[in-house]
């Protein structure tokens, strides 16, 4: 099922963005509007359609046909002479034949094929009246059962259907994994945009403080308390700050575009993204004890993560086709059993079908063996090699992905703890540099410090602020990455998915579960 967006829906989403975009609203928008999610849904529909197509082989088929033939066949001289002896001068045998046929065919999953055919034929000729022969109506009812004894026997016939159904399940897993990837990328884009917003604020505040310092310098120079040359260092520093602010503005624009694309926004809605409602997750209470259950999370992920489950389903499908290919390496030997009931009615109307089947009837039986064996059997053996390679390839992918998942959960779990440690140090550095900057300004007013000392401390203070923002972004991103690796980003109800917002915003729960 595809999600379609009308202009009204787009307008509503645009209106929802302008007051401020919450984290929950961003995740909801990504799940309904991201093009990768929509494309994954089309792939699921394709796989479901392929399974339905494979199921069509076992549909109950009805067929019917009918027709009439008029033949004008020249008579041999001997036949003409015989007719002349009876007083009939005929040169041609003019005959009319009408045939009607109806049947039903059913192929079963075990390879058996049953056919039932009813045929009604009426015939009339200009020679019939000479021999007092009335119109002939013949009815035949034939039942035939074809039993494969070697190739295509057992569950081989149903193997393509079973493989297609597993592929449809795998496509559902692909969709779930695509949705999980979109939630991850959208969460990372949200935190990146928030970080870029805060970095721009830091750059603007730094520029503002630089302007205030320049104003103070100009006043002191005007009062002949400082030489004119002192202004040069302040101007150079202010140029650097303006450049940093310009770069931060451009970075914010690029981050906004990335966030809008991740959420599936139009260009207009993307440009309308302003302040974000939610801030970075709090980091209090997260310790090394919080990752003690990582082994249980690894075991759960190895059992339930959608991309790994999908690979197992595809391996099972490949194994089914491999087993079928091995069995079909055998020659073809089919037993065909049949029973036929025929009847004959004379003089009845061509439209009367019943008499032809009910009068003067008799039964016949048939049994045939059909054998076929291609010399070399390259088609069957080549298919076996292909399917064996697919099974082995899936096995290798499953093992490799299992190793990747285990290592990624281990790494991302400790990444949260390390991010908390960095964040604590970054916050402590900000507080320390804030006090140091205030002290340096006091010393400057007392003549105990120089302008270059203030600029150096303020640069370090700005760098500490930026490092703190980066640490908060890394911490929030580590939570999202950990949830993704553990396969715990989504909840599914039927065909719909929702992101586990609370767990993405509550780091202690994110790690301890």
Contact assessment for residue 120 and residue 361, using Cβ atoms and an 8 Å cutoff: no
Q: What integer pLDDT is reported at residue 1 of this predicted model?
A: 28
Q: Which long-range contacts (CB under 8 A, 24 or more apart) does 130-137 make?
A: 130/83, 130/86, 130/88, 133/346, 134/346, 134/347, 135/346, 135/347, 135/348, 135/350, 136/344, 136/346, 137/344, 137/345, 137/346, 137/348, 137/350, 137/352, 137/355, 137/356
What does the pLDDT read at residue 23?
Answer: 92
Q: Checking DSSP bridges between strand 113-125 and strand 362-372, what pairing results, if any?
A: unpaired
Q: What's the CA angle centered on 321, arms 319 and 325, to 5 degrees?
A: 115
Q: What is the pLDDT of residue 7?
A: 31
Give me the chain's average pLDDT, please. Answer: 85
pLDDT at 235: 86
Q: What is the pLDDT of residues 78-124, one digit of tens each?
A: 878 877 877 777 888 888 888 999 999 999 999 999 999 999 888 88
Strands (E) across 374-501 are located at 490-493, 496-499
The winner for highest mean pLDDT among 10-14, 249-253, 372-376 is: 249-253
Q: What is the pLDDT of residues 212-223, one digit of tens each?
A: 888 877 887 888
Whole-number pLDDT of residue 76 = 85
Question: For the whole model, what pTM was predicted?
Answer: 0.78
Lowest mean pLDDT: which of 193-197, 225-229, 431-435?
A: 225-229
At 286 the pLDDT is 59
pLDDT for residue 47: 93
Question: What is the reported pLDDT for 263?
Answer: 92
pLDDT per residue over 457-511, tens digit each?
888 888 999 999 999 999 999 999 988 998 888 888 877 888 888 878 765 544 4
Q: What is the pLDDT of residue 350?
A: 66
Q: What local confidence, expressed as pLDDT, does residue 188 receive?
A: 96
- Rounded-to-integer distance, Cα 41 and Cα 171, Å: 9
CA dihedral 497, 498, 503, 504 (to 10 degrees): 100
pLDDT digits (tens, 9 = 90+) for 281-339: 887 665 555 555 778 888 888 998 999 999 999 999 999 999 999 998 999 999 999 99
Q: Buried b / exposed e across 400-416, counting CB within 10 Å, b at 16+?
A: ebbeebbebbbebbbbb
Pairwise CA distance, residues 401 & 422, whole Å = 30
């Amino acid at each position: 099922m595809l999600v379609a967006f009308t202009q009204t829906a787009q307008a509503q989403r645009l209106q929802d963005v302008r007051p401020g975009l919450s984290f929950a609203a961003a995740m909801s928008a990504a799940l309904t509007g991201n093009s990768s999610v929509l494309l994954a849904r089309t792939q699921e529909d394709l796989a479901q359609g392929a399974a339905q197509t494979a199921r069509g082989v076992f549909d109950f088929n009805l067929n019917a046909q009918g027709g009439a033939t008029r033949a004008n066949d020249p008579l041999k001289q001997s036949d003409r002479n015989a007719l002349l002896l009876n007083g009939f001068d005929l040169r041609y045998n003019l005959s009319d034949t009408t045939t009607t046929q109806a049947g039903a065919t059913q192929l079963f999953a075990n390879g058996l094929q049953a056919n039932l055919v009813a045929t009604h034929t009426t015939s009339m000729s200009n020679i019939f009246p000479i021999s007092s022969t009335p119109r002939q109506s013949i009815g035949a009812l034939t039942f035939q059962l074809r039993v494969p004894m070697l190739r295509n026997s057992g569950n081989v016939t149903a193997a393509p259907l079973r493989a297609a159904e597993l592929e449809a399940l795998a496509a559902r897993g692909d969709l779930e994994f695509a949705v999980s990837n979109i939630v991850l990328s959208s969460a990372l884009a949200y935190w990146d945009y928030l970080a870029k917003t805060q970095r721009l604020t830091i750059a603007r505040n730094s520029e503002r403080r630089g302007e205030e310092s320049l104003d103070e310098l100009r006043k002191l120079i005007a009062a002949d308390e400082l030489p004119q040359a002192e202004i040069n260092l302040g101007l150079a520093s202010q140029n650097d700050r303006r450049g940093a602010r310009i770069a931060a503005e451009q970075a914010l624009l690029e981050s906004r575009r990335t966030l809008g694309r991740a959420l599936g926004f139009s260009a207009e809605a993307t440009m309308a993204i302003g302040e974000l409602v939610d801030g970075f997750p709090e980091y209090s209470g997260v310790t090394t004890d919080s990752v003690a259950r990582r082994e249980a999370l690894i075991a759960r992920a190895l059992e339930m993560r959608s991309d790994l489950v999908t690979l197992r389903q595809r391996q099972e499908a490949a194994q089914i086709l491999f087993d079928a290919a091995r069995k079909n390496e055998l020659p073809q030997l089919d037993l065909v059993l049949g029973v036929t009931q025929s009847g004959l009615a004379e003089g009845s109307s061509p439209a009367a079908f019943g008499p032809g089947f009910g009068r003067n009837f008799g039964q016949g039986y048939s049994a045939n063996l059909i054998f076929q064996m291609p010399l070399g059997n390259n088609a069957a053996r080549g298919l076996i090699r292909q399917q064996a390679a697919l099974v082995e390839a899936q096995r290798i992918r499953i093992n490799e992905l299992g190793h990747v998942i285990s290592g990624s959960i281990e790494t991302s779990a400790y990444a949260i703890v390390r991010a908390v440690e960095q964040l604590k140090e970054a916050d402590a550095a900000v507080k320390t540099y804030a006090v140091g900057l205030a002290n340096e300004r006091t010393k400057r007013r007392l003549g105990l410090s120089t302008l270059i000392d203030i600029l150096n401390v303020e640069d370090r203070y700005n760098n500490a602020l930026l490092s703190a923002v980066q640490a908060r972004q890394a911490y929030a991103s580590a939570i999202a990455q950990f949830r993704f690796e553990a396969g715990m980003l989504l909840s599914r109800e039927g065909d719909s998915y929702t992101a586990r917002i609370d767990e993405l915003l509550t780091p202690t729960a994110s790690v301890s579960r």
